[in-house]
């Protein structure tokens, strides 16, 4: 009896609202920034479904809205929400030219002196670096500097003894 009083769009609106909530729950649990666009599409359908139309048309409109949002706004949102990696102290020494303090070979680690501190070092390629030679830091792996033979003659750090 009471169901005959309710407008016909009432069921469609509740259906789309349920889809919206389900998509939001999935998005919150995955944080993939994918289902949020379908949640927005479903939320739009809550209002669009108030216009009398077949469910197949509603489904088509929902799909079009959601896919367009996914294609055009997701990349923008990912750029805006991207977490910028904070540079650490070890990142600041990458690219520096420093002196080798202990011989470095492909089979054994050696040492370099950077800003007055001794670092364990390994070579990037198959070359060997003798103590006193100049090398360039190319990356940091854990607490070890990965180095290669430097092309210039001058060290960057003042304390290269």
pLDDT in tens, 40-68: 999 999 999 988 888 899 999 999 999 99
118 and 112 in contact (C-beta within 8 Å)? yes
CA 143 to chain centre: 24
C-alpha 141/C-alpha 118 separation (Å) is: 15
Neighbours of 140 (CB within 10 A): 16
Q: Tell me the H-state helices in the chain.
A: 2-5, 9-30, 35-48, 55-81
Whole-number percent of the chain with pLDDT over 70: 84
Q: What number of CA atoms fall less than 13 Å from residue 101's CA on the CB side?
A: 15
Quick one: pLDDT at residue 83? 74
Question: Cα 116–93–134 angle (5° rounding)?
Answer: 70
Residue that is written with structure tokens 């990142």 in the block: 91
pLDDT digits (tens, 9 = 90+) for 99-147: 999 999 999 999 999 888 899 999 988 889 999 999 999 998 888 999 9
Which phi and psi (to 5°) does residue 101 adopt? -105, -25
C-alpha 26/C-alpha 12 separation (Å) is: 21
Q: Which domains does the chain have, with CATH numbers?
A: 8-81 (no CATH), 91-149 (2.40.50.140)
Residue positions counted in the chain: 161
pLDDT digits (tens, 9 = 90+) for 5-27: 545 566 789 999 999 999 999 99
Does the pLDDT value for residue 161 go beyond 60? no
The reported pTM is 0.51
């Amino acid at each position: 009896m009471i169901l005959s009083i309710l407008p016909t769009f009432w069921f469609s609106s509740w259906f789309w609202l349920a889809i919206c909530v389900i998509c939001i729950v999935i998005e919150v649990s995955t944080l993939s920034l994918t289902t949020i666009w379908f949640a927005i599409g479903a939320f739009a359908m809550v209002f669009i479904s108030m216009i009398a139309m077949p469910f197949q048309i509603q489904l088509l409109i929902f799909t079009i809205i959601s896919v367009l949002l996914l294609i055009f706004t997701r990349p923008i949102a990912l750029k805006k929400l991207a977490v910028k990696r904070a540079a650490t102290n070890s990142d600041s020494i990458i690219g520096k030219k420093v002196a080798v303090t202990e011989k470095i070979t492909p089979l054994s680690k050696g040492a370099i002196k950077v800003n007055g501190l001794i670092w364990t070092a390994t070579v990037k390629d198959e070359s060997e670096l003798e103590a006193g030679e100049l090398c360039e830091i190319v990356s940091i792996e854990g607490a070890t500097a990965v180095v290669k033979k430097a092309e210039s003659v001058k060290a960057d750090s003042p304390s290269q003894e």
